[in-house]
Amino acid sequence: MLKKISINKISELVAALMGKGLLLAPVKENSGYNFAEIKNPSQVDLDFHNTIASPKAAFFPHKEDFIKYETGKPIDTASVVALNLPPTFLFGARPCDVKSFEIMDIHFNASGIIDPYWKQRREVTTIFGYAFDLEKPAQPEEFYQTLGIGAADPEGSDVFMVKKGEDLLLDSVTPKGEKIIAELKILNEGKAADKKYYDESIKKGKEYKTRNMCLEPAAITKKLEDLFHNTDFWMGVSSACLSCGICTFVCPTCYCFDICDDTLFGQGTRRRVWDACMFTDFTLEASGHNPRTQVYQRLRQKINHKYSYHVRKYGVISCVGCGRCTKHCPVNIDIYSIIEAAMKA
Amino acid sequence: MINKNPYVPAPVEITKIIDEVDTHDIKTFRLAFLNKDDEAGFKYLPGQFAELSIYGKGESPIGIASSPTQTGYIEFTVQRAGAVVPGLVTSALHDLDEGAKIGIRGPLGNSWPIEFLEKKNIVVVGGGFAFTTLRSLTNYMLHDDNRKRFGEITVIYGARTPGLLLYKDELAAWEKREDIKSIITVDKGDEAWRGREGFVPNVCKEVAPSPKNSVAVICGPPVMIKFTLPVFFELGFSKENILTSLEMRMKCGVGKCGRCNVGYKYVCSDGPVFSLAELDNLPRDF
């Protein structure tokens, strides 16, 4: 059921979605684009390549409150924070980022323990994926082709969108997506030529050039296991690292979190917040023991987690090649180059 | 726990506090659930742990020191941390009195592999404060319902001084039993000490437990582990038959927060119990 709408009418589509729930979409900020809750339809700007931060915060917000309490009061007076999530629309997520949600699903639902926050946020959200502009070249940091992800892969989205000149084509991928685009009366029926363009775009997306190397998950896993105790290698690739952690915060597949108690004037909240394995106190134990005091040990942990441990544990590489970590690293550490060097080492 | 929010602690009351050692920095806390449903849901085995939770301070992962054969309560032996890093939760816990209420999340992690241990001779080796889940295991095996499921039981437990031995009453009771060989040692005795003196690795060498159909379960400070393992290798114990329990910094306790991994294993959900054979397949990152 292909639909279309003129891009200059996008704010009407946005307004229709806002009428149905909460809308998260790319907004232009001072230093680039980011996903934000839309308050005014004119905020939405689809003229972006990709956002600074990944859209993972839609399901894994920077702060998630678990419990509210009053300090000094009995524990049974504490209350669990109810989620009460409205229907949510994540509008304009790029295919590599949509892929990251599937990778995170495996983790948050693993070992018979389901993370209730991730699960509920996933359930209420309808994803409008958006193909990269195939007429424009990829950014130099990107390498999703290496991970087998196309620039126009609809899988994982509920509705997938492709730009065709001045029009936006929308097709449903899941029953949830089909229902929503059937309800959006503002959309017009797509023509046969539109359908042909849409299908060809998805095919062309598979060939879209980003940095690319041949990477077998089993091979890189083994290679990194063999390299683990090669301290020279890890010292070399991490020598410039500042342990700032920005790579983990912009990453769509980094999920490490801290659980902390925040109290002020007798009011307390227990919440989880994003954390980063690049920080020195991440593994500091109360005894004073810390297995990762050195920068190289922490960068080694991060690379191994994504390209070795995750493969061993869940069968997939935990990286989608979006290139954000490389782009935002203040000292130009490039995960792609590290993987390439590891394969050659 | 599948249908429950794994991050929400259940309320418990501290019904008894036992001051274990003469330095007064290790106490055993006996906890009773305030809600029957929470108590029914807390089914554990020796070797598992739980997150003890104090609102306003945080949570600490602590091994369960009682045995599931003891009903109506659970026990945790907690050291007041803080020599290097301020131990917020353990300090707050030590400052509480009987009757205080705290939270608990668990049981968490795997356990000592009871089925694997059945019909085998068990050699329990502990050092210092790291005896808590070994005490749980020993009491579990010694229970009337369970004793015949296991072969010979040998316990070798050491501390630096007599005053630093945990569970002194129980140790005395074990020494009187026929169905357990209990060897208690201290690095250095005092005037009142009538027992054995000597480091745990040396005592293991003297006792020389047979490796035949036997499993060694070893917990202790790194230096004790370092010198005890070669003794067991020499005696002929295979790496599959030497078990230990790891510690790493933890937060969630349910394999989600990404903090306690050693290689591809999360200590909280894949461990804390590992055989030496399993540890050989993991990087030395702990």
Q: Which tens digits make up the pLDDT trace of B52-68?
A: 999 999 999 999 999 99
At A231-245, the pLDDT tens digits run 999 999 999 999 999
A270 to B55: CB separation less than 8 angstroms, yes or no? yes
Please list every residue in chain B whose beta carbon sits closer than 8 Å to the beta carbon of residue A312: 263-264
Asked if pLDDT for residue A66 goes beyond 60, the answer is yes
CA distance B120 to chain A (A): 29
At B207-223, the pLDDT tens digits run 999 999 999 999 999 89
What pLDDT is recorded for position A76? 86
Q: Decide if B284 touches A, using CB distance below 8 A.
A: yes
Q: State mean pLDDT over A272-289.
A: 94
* Residue B2 banded pLDDT, cuts 50, 70, 90: very low
Chain centroid to Cα A110, Å, comes to: 18
Which SS3 state, helix, strand or coil, does residue B209 take? coil
Which of A80, A221, A261 is the best substitution to test chain B (most B C-beta atoms within 10 A)? A261
Spatial contact of B61 and B253, defined as CB atoms under 8 Å apart: yes
At B77-116, the pLDDT tens digits run 999 997 667 789 999 999 999 999 999 999 999 999 999 9
CA distance A2 to chain B (A): 39
Which of B1, B5, B7, B54 is the best substitution to test chain A (most A C-beta atoms within 10 A)? B7
Contact residues for B272 (Cβ-Cβ < 8 A; gap 6+): B47, B49, B63, B109, B110, B245, B246, B247
* Residue B4 banded pLDDT, cuts 50, 70, 90: confident
Residue A139: which of A245, A48, A252 has the closest Cα? Answer: A48
Please list every residue in chain A whose beta carbon sits closer than 8 Å to the beta carbon of residue B223: none
Which of B256, B267, B280, B284 is the best substitution to test chain A (most A C-beta atoms within 10 A)? B256
Which strand (E) or helix (H) includes residue B271? Answer: none
Residue of A nearest to B109 (CA): A111
Mean pLDDT of chain B: 95
Q: Decide if B99 touches A, using CB distance below 8 A.
A: no
At A282-338, the pLDDT tens digits run 999 988 899 999 999 999 999 999 999 999 999 999 999 999 999 999 999 999 999
Asked if pLDDT for residue B26 goes beyond 90, the answer is yes
pTM flag (> 0.90): yes
Asked if pLDDT for residue A166 goes beyond 70, the answer is yes
Lowest pLDDT segment from A208-212, A213-217, A287-291, B7-11 = A287-291
* Residue B1 banded pLDDT, cuts 50, 70, 90: very low
Measured CA angle at A51 (ends A45, A54), to 5 deg: 130
How many Å apart are CA A298 and CA A278, to the nearest integer? 5
